[in-house]
């Protein structure tokens, strides 16, 4: 085994361990790993920087800016309160409606930010109702993961897959979104059934919810109107980006910059400071490390093994990827997992034909995103939601989340398998 | 809390005819049982209503009836409005009943129930409102009419109930000397600053005055325990009659309206570590709300 091969494997394993055990901050680990790859000569700096998928990075930056401005409009509070009042304070109905709102928002904006905004409101509503916030916290985290799977921009794995495979916004809408709609419907039923027992409240408590005045949640209607217009324009841009010959990052950054200018936003520094630089730098490091693995030939070795095992059978490979992604994503952070799988599938595409392997991308997307619901640590949105709940005095244990999450993940993977079987 | 918030439109029985109040009560209880499945104890509730009715009139002048059932093990307060078609002939003569508020309550809901009773009485005394309510055709309509009427069972305090009003203010052209004299004689720690047309353009507190007296280099030096006098600070005081408030005031870092929630004010005070906020009705300052107002009028009211 060559020195380069050993270095690449050791760095990769080291970073994975760091992420899973949280012994070292994952961004720090990824950056160090990336630089070790360069220092060891596996890649030179030019190759390393070229390995970074800037389309992904700046699509993330653009969407983070849009979200940062959007959350200051009070729009999310308005939506949550409106949903709660529509349900007339009935907790089971609120749970389902808020989950649908969360799923919808996560399809456009990043999951973590979505839950960071919606979960505190949900906890408030639950506490005012005199019921435990835990079902809401769990359900909303899961809903954000499900919703994020529906579009190119909804979840980082999709952004990465789209960028690497040349799949656009419209492609995701046509392929993953239909499956997600069915899964969301299944989720609404599931949530109502499993959480039913815990959600009974008095008329007086429901009245407290009816007393919320959602109109007061919007402090700057002009900002809101302009923000909604620019977001609509950006989504339209995403739908047409292929036709316009533009990449998603251009649309996202363009939309973000337009929003800041059009609203003459007064706190640009504030919004920029809130960007998740840690996530962005983590991606940067990760891309380099994975490319290191590709460079030393690990990926092609694994993909040929995979083809050997499944004998080039597309359907079998698809299900293997769907379920393997689903189960592994429940335990491992889905972003490094997808980053590792991408070159693998690209390699398979080289041997089996790029158009032929398209279902494999959908399998990866559905598996990696839906698998995130499997356990508490399966997705950042889960960990963040549980953290928010704990800070409010209602901790969500690993066991409690996994109890509800694992079962539904299995259900959603089965639905996805059926979908893949029928569709492809 | 508005009365309309306590009523579920699904529980309103509209457009049926009854020959007696008892029949109406029984019907609406059965109706509610259908919606709440296991939590409306139909038989016990009806028995309780009947025994209460036997004790005396539950009809208010104005044609509004208030049959109610107090149950030992019931943990909720359920209001079941009935809008009968053509009115119900009352037990012992008198006007026809146009509106009935059948209420189910438990041992713990007395306080809120009494306030609801007061609201029902107000409805009975308001001919127009009673008329509007008895003319509705759906439960949603009833709740909407009640909501529009703004009828409240509990009044929460808002900023206007605790603020200091009228506000003591200064103009941008006032001198620091005038400001400090004002603060000293009226024991003020904070003063909103207005321009010539009376609009809020700034705010200034004692700390802001002190801030202005400290030069930048002194601020960067850590502890200044080693000296007893500092020239720029003395100079500041010497210039108090010529320096204008406009030169040292801060931009308002948060403004509230008189009808705003005290919860919002408390959270803003906590997040911004700020003890005073100006209260504006449109562009004009009508008061100042401070953390002491919260202490004396909310925490220790």
- pLDDT, one tens digit per residue, over A398-412 is 888 998 999 999 999
Tell me what pLDDT residue B268 has.
Answer: 94
Burial of B214 (C-beta count, 10 Å sphere; 0-12/13-18/19+): middle
Q: pLDDT grade, residue A312 (50/70/90)?
A: low
Cβ contact B9–A207 (<8 Å): no
- pLDDT, one tens digit per residue, over B36-70 is 766 778 888 899 888 888 887 678 888 889 988 88
User: What's the pTM?
Assistant: 0.82
Tell me what pLDDT residue B38 has.
Answer: 64
Q: Strand, helix or coil at B96?
A: coil
Burial of A272 (C-beta count, 10 Å sphere; 0-12/13-18/19+): middle
CA distance A207 to chain B (A): 5
CA distance A40 to chain B (A): 45
Residue B174 has pLDDT above 90, yes or no: yes
Q: pLDDT grade, residue B141 (50/70/90)?
A: very high
| Helix or strand run (H / E) with residue A412 | helix A398-423
Residues of A whose CB is below 8 A from B101: none
Cβ contact B76–A204 (<8 Å): yes
- What percentage of residues in chain A have a pLDDT greater than 90? 38
Nearest to B192, CA basis, from B266, B247, B250: B250
Q: pLDDT grade, residue A1 (50/70/90)?
A: low
Cβ contact A210–B5 (<8 Å): yes
CA distance A42 to chain B (A): 48
Q: Strand, helix or coil at A149?
A: coil
Residues of A whose CB is below 8 A from B261: 216
Residue A352 has pLDDT above 80, yes or no: no
User: For helices A221-244 and A75-86, what crossing angle results, to 10°?
Assistant: 100
Of B4, B9, B78, the CB nearest to A203: B78
φ/ψ (deg, to 5) at A315: -60, -45
How far is the C-alpha of B211 from the C-alpha of B295, rounded, in Å?
Answer: 27
Contact A183, A415 (CB under 8 A): yes
Of B2, B77, B261, the CB nearest to A203: B77
As a whole number, the mean pLDDT across chain B is 89
Q: Which of A348-352, A407-411, B1-5, B264-268 has the least mean pLDDT?
A: A348-352
Cβ contact B77–A208 (<8 Å): no
Mutate which: B2, B3, B5, B114, vs A, most A CBs within 10 A: B5
**Mean pLDDT for the stretch of residues A148-156:** 91
- pLDDT, one tens digit per residue, over A14-46 is 888 887 777 888 889 999 999 999 998 888 899
Which chain A residue has the Cα nearest residue B111? Answer: A204
Nearest to A349, CA basis, from A164, A143, A85: A164
CA distance B242 to chain A (A): 33
Q: pLDDT grade, residue B233 (50/70/90)?
A: confident
Residues of B whose CB is below 8 A from A200: 39
- pLDDT, one tens digit per residue, over A220-270 is 899 999 999 999 999 999 888 878 888 889 999 999 999 999 988 888 888
How far is the C-alpha of A261 from the C-alpha of B189, rounded, in Å?
Answer: 39
Tell me what pLDDT residue A49 has.
Answer: 92
Cβ contact A202–B6 (<8 Å): no
- pLDDT, one tens digit per residue, over A190-234 is 998 888 776 678 888 899 999 998 888 888 899 999 999 999 999
As a whole number, the mean pLDDT across chain A is 88
Of A202, A207, A216, the CB nearest to B75: A202
Where on the phi/psi map is residue A77: left (φ > 0), alpha (ψ -120 to 50), or beta? alpha
């Amino acid at each position: 085994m060559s020195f380069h091969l050993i270095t690449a494997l050791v760095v990769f394993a080291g970073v994975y361990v760091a992420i899973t055990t949280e012994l070292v901050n994952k961004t720090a680990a990824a950056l160090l790993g990336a630089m070790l790859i360069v220092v060891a000569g596996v890649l030179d700096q030019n190759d390393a920087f070229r390995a970074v998928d800037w389309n992904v990075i700046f699509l993330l930056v653009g969407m983070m800016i849009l979200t940062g401005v959007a959350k200051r409009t009070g729009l999310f509070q308005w939506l949550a309160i409106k949903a709660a009042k529509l349900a007339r304070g009935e907790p089971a109905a609120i749970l389902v409606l808020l989950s649908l709102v969360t799923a919808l928002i996560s399809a456009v904006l990043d999951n973590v930010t979505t839950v960071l905004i919606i979960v505190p409101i949900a906890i408030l509503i639950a506490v005012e109702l005199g019921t435990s916030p835990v079902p809401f916290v769990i359900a909303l985290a899961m809903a954000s993961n499900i919703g994020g799977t529906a579009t190119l921009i909804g979840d980082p794995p999709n952004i990465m897959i789209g960028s690497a495979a040349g799949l656009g916004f419209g492609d995701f809408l046509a392929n993953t979104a239909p499956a997600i709609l069915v899964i969301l419907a299944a989720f609404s039923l599931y949530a109502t059934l499993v959480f039913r027992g815990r959600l009974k409240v008095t008329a007086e408590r429901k009245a407290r919810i009816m007393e919320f005045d959602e109109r007061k949640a919007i402090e700057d209607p002009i900002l809101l109107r302009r923000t909604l217009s620019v977001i609509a324009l950006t989504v339209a841009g995403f739908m047409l980006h292929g036709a316009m010959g533009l990449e998603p990052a251009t649309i996202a950054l363009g939309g973000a910059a337009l929003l800041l200018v059009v609203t003459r936003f007064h706190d640009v520094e504030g919004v920029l400071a809130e960007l998740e630089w840690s996530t962005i730098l983590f991606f940067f490091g990760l891309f380099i490390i994975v490319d290191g693995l590709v460079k030393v030939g690990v990926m092609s070795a694994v993909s040929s093994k995979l083809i050997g095992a499944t004998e080039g059978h597309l359907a079998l490979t698809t299900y293997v990827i769907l379920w393997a992604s689903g189960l592994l994503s429940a335990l491992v952070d889905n972003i490094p997992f997808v980053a590792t799988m991408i070159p693998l599938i690209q390699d398979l595409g080289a041997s089996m034909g790029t158009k032929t392997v398209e279902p494999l991308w959908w399998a990866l997307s559905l598996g990696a995103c839906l698998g995130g619901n499997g356990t508490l640590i399966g997705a950042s949105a889960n960990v963040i939601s549980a953290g928010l709940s704990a800070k409010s005095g209602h901790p969500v244990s690993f066991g409690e989340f996994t109890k509800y999450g694992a079962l539904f993940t299995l259900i959603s993977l089965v639905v996805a398998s059926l979908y893949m079987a029928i569709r492809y | 809390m508005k009365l309309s918030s306590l009523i579920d439109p699904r529980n309103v029985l509209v457009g049926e005819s009854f020959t007696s109040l008892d029949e109406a009560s029984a019907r609406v209880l059965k109706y509610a049982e259908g919606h709440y499945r296991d939590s409306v104890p139909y038989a016990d509730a009806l028995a309780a209503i009947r025994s209460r009715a036997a004790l005396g009139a539950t009809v208010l002048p104005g044609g509004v009836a208030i049959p109610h059932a107090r149950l030992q093990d019931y943990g909720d307060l359920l209001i079941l409005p009935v809008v009968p078609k053509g009115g119900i002939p009352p037990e012992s003569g008198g006007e026809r009943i146009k509106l009935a508020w059948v209420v189910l309550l438990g041992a713990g809901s007395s306080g809120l129930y009494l306030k609801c009773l007061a609201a029902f009485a107000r409805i009975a005394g308001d001919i127009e409102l009673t008329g509007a309510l008895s003319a509705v055709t759906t439960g949603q309509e009833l709740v909407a009419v009640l909501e529009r009427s703004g009828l409240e069972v509990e009044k929460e305090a808002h900023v206007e109930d605790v603020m200091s009003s009228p506000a003591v203010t200064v103009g941008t052209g006032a001198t620091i000397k005038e400001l400090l004299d004002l603060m000293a004689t009226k024991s003020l720690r904070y003063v909103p600053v207005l321009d010539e047309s009376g609009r809020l353009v700034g705010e200034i507190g004692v700390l802001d005055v002190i801030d202005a007296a400290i030069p930048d280099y002194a601020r960067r030096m850590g502890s200044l325990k080693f000296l007893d006098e500092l020239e720029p600070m003395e100079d500041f005081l010497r210039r108090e009659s010529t320096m204008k408030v406009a030169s040292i005031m801060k931009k308002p870092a948060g403004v509230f309206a008189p009808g705003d929630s005290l919860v919002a004010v408390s959270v803003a005070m906590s997040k911004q570590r700020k003890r005073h906020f100006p209260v504006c009705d449109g562009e004009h300052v009508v008061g100042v709300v401070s953390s002491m107002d919260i202490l004396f009028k909310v925490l220790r009211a």
